Structure 1
């Protein structure tokens, strides 16, 4: 977990990779969620913009790091990735 007040990055699950965070863009916090699909040694990550409310909801749903299964990761993806504005997408690319 990285947190310097201007940037925060949190891994919720490292087995099936997903997490959340925020960064400061032009003086305001931009909250994001990310999810990755593994392929041997690489991951295809999608990072989306979420609301502050969603960010806080993730914190209450996942108060600490877990060893998630694919089903749990898929629930996260459907809730916080699908239908949200994509900020970054690509192999091994995270904010």
Structure 2
């Protein structure tokens, strides 16, 4: 544990005095829990090893292919000359 999680050093600009506050047990547990969740979330993100832009590009290309397949299988539903 880092000692910074147990105490907070607050420097007041007025009067240049330093005040040290002790953080309680609940606050320490909150910090530990938040750090653990952050590390787990980052671990899941790093498993992808692919940037968000690449993921969006692949998803967009798949959607375009699905739309082209639908147009080919169902035919053109709307457009000039389809009412005839």
What is the TM-score normalised by the length of structure 1? 0.23
Determine which structure has more spread, i.e. the larger CA radius of gyration.
2
Relative contact order, CA 8 A, sep 6+: which one is greater?
A: 1
